[in-house]
Amino acid sequence: MSANDNTKRPWSGRFAEPTTERVRRFTASVSFDRRLAPFDIEASLAHARMLQAVGIIAKSDLEAIEKGLAQIRSEIQADAFPWSDALEDVHLNIERRLIELAGESGKRLHTARSRNDQVATDLRLYLRASIDQALPLLKSLQRALLDLADEHAETVMPGYTHLQVAQPVTFGHHLLAYFEMFARDVQRLADARRRVNRLPLGAAALAGTSFPIDRQRVAKELGFEEVCENSIDAVSDRDFAIEFCACAALAMTHLSRFCEELILWANPRFGFVEIADGFATGSSIMPQKKNPDVAELIRGKTGRVNGHLVALLTLMKAQPLAYNRDNQEDKEPLFDAVDTLTASLAVFTEMLRATKFRREAMAAAAREGHATATDLAEYLVRKGVPFRDAHEAVAQAVRFAESRNCELAELKLSELQRFSATVTEDVYGALTLEGSLKSRNHLGGTAPARVKAAIAKARKSLG
């Protein structure tokens, strides 16, 4: 790189020697931060209009800047923009092209701002748009869950703890558990958006500017709800990006848990689901294989997003105020977290809608493992037996049934009465799967009637 090339950089007057080629390549970020270009142009237009409104630049300067930025936007959209690593980042690339197009007027655009508040603004605009993209995807997934829960409001399946048969539940109730998780993800993202939606522009490098700027005007034009109140904080912190990654990591964790269940359920030992061919792959050597690769990849990509969260936390943990070049490293983790979350949500929703769920296999599994043992204990309690005594009696009955290689409901009345004299013929109503489900008819319970009511309430909440 020649010294002449180096003089094109906006800070080159301070240095007697150019940066080396290796340093130029090492410090360049334009290969990935160019995705901020639409937001950089949007923010630059608002900044220029404010500068003209308060009398810092002339109307003719504004017109030249607007015309130049419009052409730059068109060039970028047409993939005809002359990106250059020598200009380091998206901001200097756009500024240099603007100067070529608008001349002296283009040089005036950077008045009363720094790349520090410029990039912070662009990043917030980008992240706000990304949240607005992710929220509808989450709600689409919630609707898919509700549709499926409606279809399976009465489908019985074993509920598990420790991956062992625990109690009967409806599959609709199981699906609504995920609906609640994703509802909280929606709430977290919407709440984070409010903290993202604050304008840093006007903080300049760290101390503000001596020019009579109007930050509220810029904030209004760009759709920001507030301005960042402290200029040092505005340019130096990336907690809004970290918060998004935390939200993304939680949403991915919820996806991953569901994917883990689909993977398990697709195994013939469960046989609860058949994943559609379009969301599975085969083996290069084993002709019979049908692998749940999409679910496995989402499960794997969850670790990737978790890693981005840790990377950003680590990036910020030792930075003194104010801005440091470390923050160039915030973009790739953030960008990838956005891409991974949105892609995973979209493909998972499609896969879920295409998956076949096998009622018979679920019901058969619920009839194994003494799923109604708790119901038997509660039956004894209603007969006046203290719960701890009832628990002990049923535990002994389970051991007896296992020694006979049968389920509790298959024991004769006389056999059940060996463990508690309070047992009568009506005990078999408590030992059926249907009776177990219907008995849990309270808010948050698994009874089909409660599941249907929960679905109706959830649909109303989505609008």
**Active site amino acids:** 162, 283
- Residue 410, amino acid: E
Q: For residue 58, what are its two tokens? A: 């002339």
**Helical (H) or strand (E) element with 166:** strand 164-170
Nearest CA to 104 among 136, 162, 45, 61? 61
Neighbours of 230 (CB within 10 A): 13
**Residue 56: φ, ψ to 5°:** -85, -35
List residues bridging with 165 in a β-sheet.
Answer: 160
Neighbours of 285 (CB within 10 A): 6
Q: For residue 49, what are its two tokens? A: 């209009």
Residues with Cβ within 8 Å of residue 36, at least 6 apart in sequence: 90, 119, 122, 123, 126, 331
Judged on CB neighbours under 10 Å (0-12, 13-18, 19+), 405 is: exposed
- Give the integer Cα–Cα distance in Å for 38 and 36: 6
**Helical (H) or strand (E) element with 158:** strand 156-161
